[in-house]
Amino acid sequence: MIEKIIKYQVINLRYLLIVPLLLSCILVTAQDTEQSRQIIKNIQDLSEKDSLPDAKDIILKVIVQYDEKGYKSEPFYFHNLYRKTSVDAVLNKDSIESQLAHMRNSSDLISRFVIRPFDFSFQYARSNGKSDEANVTVLLFEDYKSIFADNLNKKRGQTIHASQNNGIFETIGHKNISYFLDEIFGDINLFKETNDIMLLAFKGPLHKSNTETYTYKLLGQKQIDGQTCNEIAFFCTNMKENAFAGNLYTSIGENPKLIKAQFTFNNRESANFLKDILLTHSFNLQDSIIIPVKQESILLIGDDANRMMAAKRTDIFLNYNFDKPDHNIRWGVSREKGYFRRDTSFWTTIRPIPLTNSQKQIGNLEQAADSSKRFRRLERVISLVLSGSYSLGGIEGPVELGPLTHFLSYNDMEGLRIRVGGNTTIRFSDQFQLGGYIAYGTKDTRVKHQANLVYSLSPKQKYLWEYPKKLFSFTYASDLNIPGQDMLLMNRDHFAQSFTHAPTNNMSLQRIGLLTFESENSSNLTYKIGGKITYDKPLGVVQYVRAISPTDTTVIDNITSSDLILSLRFAPGERFIQRKEKRTAIRRAAFELDVTYRRGIKGLFGADYGYNAVNFNLFRRFDFTRNIAQVDTYLSGGKIWGRVPFPLLFIPEGNQSYVFNSRAYNVMNFYEFATDRFIAGSVNSTFDWSPIRLFNPNNKIKICVGSKIIYGPLSEENDPAYHPDLFMFNNGIRALGNTPYAEFNIGLANIFNMIRIDYSRRLTYLDSDDTTEGNKITRGTILFSGSFSF
């Protein structure tokens, strides 16, 4: 199943990325792509070849030859890479008119509002060289780059010379779709031990450690590009392994070399929407060095044999050079200025293979999409779902309002909260953005506001936060905040957060000024430096009170802090989808590390306290073999040096809503604990099984189990019992004691392919002061969240 291929991801946005592709495929009746399907069928019958001669000895020699003479084993290498990726609807030319008539005459809602908006695309169908087939190219991506390495000094680099993306579905973001397709196609090298494709690790058939996994059979000899080659079939008898199956063509002689490979998945039943995949790799010799010259991948996507899309990627390797590189070469990843603004003549000059007839129509298709009212209306709906914002001045207008999910919300302190906000877009400026909001509470009758200014050092295509980020930002905000949460990143006024199992009456009025510079490099190392001034005035039930003696107390109206901030984030191998400033991971990194250092400077801009604080977060995902389960683990910790009152201590993030939060403590109240040192961990496991399968084996509901724990007794340095100048704990907030706080959750995910339900239970700190206003303890609660998977 595709859910096994995508492997337990909480898909949300990724699901919506592929939906438009599938929507467009149901417009047409596709003919089989005969050559590709015949090759795949022949490969799928390989298991019947057991009586043929064993070819493992030839394969072992091929592996030795590549290890010794493959281009990546050279001291230095350089080559150019041209990549073309397209997504096409494959049509039966004779059925186009009947399909159009059916679409236009259908009165059901799906036909009227989902299928009919694509009717304009039919006029751009072009023959693909077969009498009964025509293609409509709906997406086309092209890239041209240089790749080079110095193996002696273990240096790698690439320079991106040109990149362009064309087609419809611009509201999703062509770069987002491109990243998604990159993960689907993967990066396959048959000589590697494992290859990533469709977010799974497949065993390479030409790595020595995998030769016991595969079976190799000599089929005979065959002419390949004028050369007589051995034809060797390979496959895996264990259908539960993530493996390939196909044909290898090697040169004949004592030192055989790989000339060509055609292969697919060993077990095609692992696919649902994906009907077939065919991969072809071709090799050559240059100065006795084995080099790849062409790689093709074809994916057929659809829900049955007559309805599909064809996604194709072609890589052309050219201009190999094995001389020592120039001393002035720039290592790492670099981009030539204006690389995404190359004109037609540039592409005509560097393109090693021509565009197909349908690909040449992509510009006309884009114009037709812009002129189609029905399609623009559908795009606007997709844009609202993805971004939560409404664009003014067209789908890609210069200003957008949003997020709409924050326009109305409710909490106990503000009552009904009304918020209106928005920001400029790339259409307004590709390096500068202005945004903000104004909010008003019907209960507290207070006006709140926020203003943001962002400047990118380089032009961007859709969002200023696109990889790689190098940007300055300034934010000023005056609003209510839940202590322990970052007001500038908070989600507390999302409509879904309006429904809570405990009162929301512990907020502070904060005025924040934040200036930062953020930069990231090709290794996914990001650093941020900045300065932050925070004015904090309690407005909820918690007060800032000093108790010099039991009869001598002083109420403090507000406190001010001034911080210098340095933060680092390292997430090697992470791939993501960009949504404005937010990123949704397609592929989580092998590990993710965040470290933040803050220095509070007393007296700077009226700051009341001086201190140093460090905290870190470490994420690691573990996947059990054969798709049994996925386990996400988090480890975090922190320490504060210096005497500060509890509003400046670490305040663990609680969650009082009915929306499950994998990072927060779901049965902990807001503003419940404080400490100056802590170590915390959590485990979230998703198993590809649930008790429901005992009664319905085909059910895809999964069981989820998790737990969270935090330990961090407050030190004497920051305990008001030892230092009367500190604020007393009151009205529900208390010090984290010697007993760790712990909770667990158990639930079901993938309900109707989109819903997750959890029961969370508190294990410690079960005492509840029922007399304290708004701070009763919730021992257990039901929570909901989205859980989309294929």
Which segments of 339-389 does DSSP mark as H helices, in order? 344-350, 362-371, 373-387
Percentage, residues of the chain above pLDDT 70 = 86
Residue 166 has a pLDDT of 93
Q: Average pLDDT for residues 222-241, to the nearest whole number? A: 89
> 443: phi > 0 → left, psi -120 to 50 → alpha, else beta; which?
alpha
pLDDT band of residue 36 (cuts 50, 70, 90) is: low
Strands 677-687 and 629-641: antiparallel
Residue 32 has a pLDDT of 36
DSSP3 helix / strand / coil % (the chain, rounded to 5): 20, 45, 35
Strands 227-235 and 244-251: antiparallel
DSSP H/E element including 14: helix 13-25
Does pLDDT of 578 surpass 90?
no
Residue 774 has a pLDDT of 44
Least confident of 329-338, 692-701, 733-742: 692-701
Residue 29 has a pLDDT of 33
Please report the sign of the dihedral spanned by the C-alpha atoms of residue 35, residue 36, residue 39, residue 42: negative
Does pLDDT of 26 surpass 80?
no
Does pLDDT of 273 surpass 60?
no
| Total H helices, total E strands in the chain | 10, 38
How many angstroms separate the CA atoms of 651 and 221, rounded?
A: 71
Calculate the average pLDDT of the chain.
87
Q: Average pLDDT for residues 385-412, to the nearest whole number? A: 89
Residue 698 has a pLDDT of 76
φ, ψ at 513 (rounded to 5°): -120, 125
Residue 689 has a pLDDT of 83
CB-based contact 544:727 (threshold 8 Å): yes
Hey, which residues does 630 pair with through a beta bridge?
623, 686
Residue where the block lists tokens 């240059």: 286
DSSP code, position 356: P
Please report the sign of the dihedral spanned by the C-alpha atoms of residue 151, residue 156, residue 160, residue 164: positive
Q: Average pLDDT for residues 81-87, to the nearest whole number? A: 96
Residue 269 has a pLDDT of 58
Strands 332-335 and 155-167: parallel
Does pLDDT of 137 surpass 80?
yes
Residue 272 has a pLDDT of 45
Please report the sign of the dihedral spanned by the C-alpha atoms of residue 435, residue 441, residue 442, residue 445: negative
Does pLDDT of 598 surpass 60?
yes
CB-based contact 57:65 (threshold 8 Å): no
Q: Is the peptide bond before 403 cis (omega within 30 degrees of 0)?
A: yes
pLDDT band of residue 384 (cuts 50, 70, 90) is: confident
How many angstroms separate the CA atoms of 89 and 125, rounded?
A: 9
- What tokens appear for 330 in the block? 């720039």
Rounded to the nearest 5 degrees, what angle is found at the Cα of 772, between the Cα atoms of 771 and 773?
110
Q: Average pLDDT for residues 167-190, to the nearest whole number? A: 87
Q: Average pLDDT for residues 284-302, to the nearest whole number? A: 91
SS3 string, 529-564, reads EEEEEEEEEECCCCCCEEEEECCEEEECCCEEEEEE
Hey, which residues does 555 pair with through a beta bridge?
545
Does pLDDT of 453 surpass 60?
yes
Does pLDDT of 574 surpass 70?
yes
Does pLDDT of 307 surpass 70?
no
Q: Average pLDDT for residues 192-206, to the nearest whole number? A: 88
CA distances from 256 to 66, 224, 235, 251, 618 (A): 10, 14, 20, 5, 47
More confident site: 79 or 688? 79
Q: Which residues of 190-226 are buried (b: 16+ CB within 10 A; e: fewer)?
A: bbbeebbbbbbbbbbbbbeebbebbbbbbbeeeebee
Q: Residue 310 is which amino acid? A: A
Does pLDDT of 142 surpass 90?
yes
CB-based contact 779:546 (threshold 8 Å): no
Residue 527's contacts (CB-CB under 8 Å, 6 or more residues apart) are 518, 519, 520, 566, 567, 568, 569
Q: Average pLDDT for residues 377-394, to the nearest whole number? A: 84
Does pLDDT of 34 surpass 60?
no
Q: Is the peptide bond before 468 cis (omega within 30 degrees of 0)?
A: yes
Residue 773 has a pLDDT of 46
Residue 624 has a pLDDT of 74
Residue 223 has a pLDDT of 94
More confident site: 494 or 587? 494
Least confident of 37-46, 308-317, 678-687: 37-46
pTM exceeds cut of 0.85:
no
Residue 274 has a pLDDT of 61
Hey, which residues does 131 pair with through a beta bridge?
none
Does pLDDT of 25 surpass 80?
no
Which of 668, 332, 689 lies closest to 522 in space, CA to CA?
332
- What tokens appear for 317 in the block? 């390797």
Residue 52 has a pLDDT of 85
How many angstroms separate the CA atoms of 406 and 361, rounded?
A: 41
CB-based contact 72:149 (threshold 8 Å): yes
CB-based contact 219:55 (threshold 8 Å): no
Q: Average pLDDT for residues 749-775, to the nearest whole number? A: 79
CB-based contact 584:463 (threshold 8 Å): no
Least confident of 14-28, 375-389, 657-671, 731-745: 14-28
